[in-house]
Amino acid sequence: MENANVKTSGIREFQLFVVDGALTVAGILSVAGGLWSIYRDNAALAATCMAAGLILLFAATLHRFELLKGFGIEAKMKKLDDTIDKAEVALAQLKDLTKVTSVALVTLYSRIGRTGGPPTFEEEYETMQGVKRNLLSSKYSLLEISAILRPWIQRSSIKLILVGLKKYDSLVRDTAMELTFEFNTMGANIPPELVESYQEKVRRSGNLTRYNDLFRDTLWTVTPDKLEQHIRTQISGTPELSDQQKRESLAGIQIYLNELLYFHQNLEALDMQFWLTQFYRH
């Protein structure tokens, strides 16, 4: 391999010697012709020959003309190359962003009308991943991208968690109904001495229902990074539920919380099929 490199280097040097020699000879002849033309008072031909000669002589030593660095030509060429590279990258990013924006607009406008509907989660997800890719290539951090995509992240997170909370909602609803069952069944036949007790159960049932309604409403006010803790706190503090029921509710929603944690940290689904199954099944 070393011998091959030496041989290639020798051939290259010989080629440069031949080319440089030819250019040098041609340059000297052109300069001589220019001087002769000056002697013969032919200004136009003299200028042409002199210019050609200088150019040929310059070309003969161009590859080793160190003074170019002093003139700043090398730096300017490097800067020009860098600018061209950056322009190509910017053009590619713009092309990608244009595609993402176009797909989003076409999707939204095509859903307007009687037979239309909002974009599916899968369509939204593909669009937002395109935006994420473009922003990453533009040197945005995940934290900055998260702030830009926050409306979509929050809405998608809550849509998923509401599916996960269905069993909890059912448990709360059943507990509230149990508290008022006897009161609603007996009505006016409730013994006087038990009226106050039944009224207290009705009040507790109402408090439980309002607690759950407020829980669901506050989901939209919590930032994505605090959503998991908010859900755990709310379920753990649910009135009328036993500790066992609270633990079971938290265990049942754990897989959803795991998905949300990964989703918020990486701005992408951990298990895309799980998301799609949850949205399309319910």
| Tens digit of each residue's pLDDT (9 = 90 or more) over 100-119 | 665 565 555 445 555 556 77
pLDDT of 224 reads 81
Total domains, the chain: 3
Whether residue 116 is contained in a domain is answered as: yes
CA distances from 275 to 103, 252, 281 (A): 22, 16, 10
Residue 237 inside a domain? The answer is yes
The confidence band for 172, taking pLDDT boundaries of 50, 70 and 90, is: very high
* Whether residues 36 and 80 fall in one domain: no
**Does residue 276 lie in a domain region?**
no
Same-domain check for residues 61 and 89? no
Taking 60 as the threshold, does the pLDDT of residue 15 lie above it? no
Report the percentage of the chain scoring pLDDT > 70: 60
Q: Is 2 inside any structural domain?
A: no
Q: Decide if 139 is inside a domain.
A: yes
Give residue-wise pLDDT tens across range 45-60.
556 666 666 665 555 5
**Do both 161 and 145 map to the same domain?**
no
Same domain for 52 and 102:
no
**Integer-rounded Cα radius of gyration of the chain:** 39
The mean per-residue pLDDT over the stretch 188-206 comes to: 82
Together in a domain, 183 and 228:
yes
Distances (CA, A) of 277 to 163, 170, 228: 11, 20, 21
Residues 135 and 49 placed together within one structural domain of the fold: no
pLDDT confidence tier of residue 147, bands split at 50, 70 and 90 = confident
- Say if 88 falls within a structural domain: yes
Same domain, 87 and 108: yes
Considering only 187-191, 214-218, 263-267, 276-280, which range has the smallest mean pLDDT? 187-191
Q: Give the domain range for residue 92.
A: 74-149
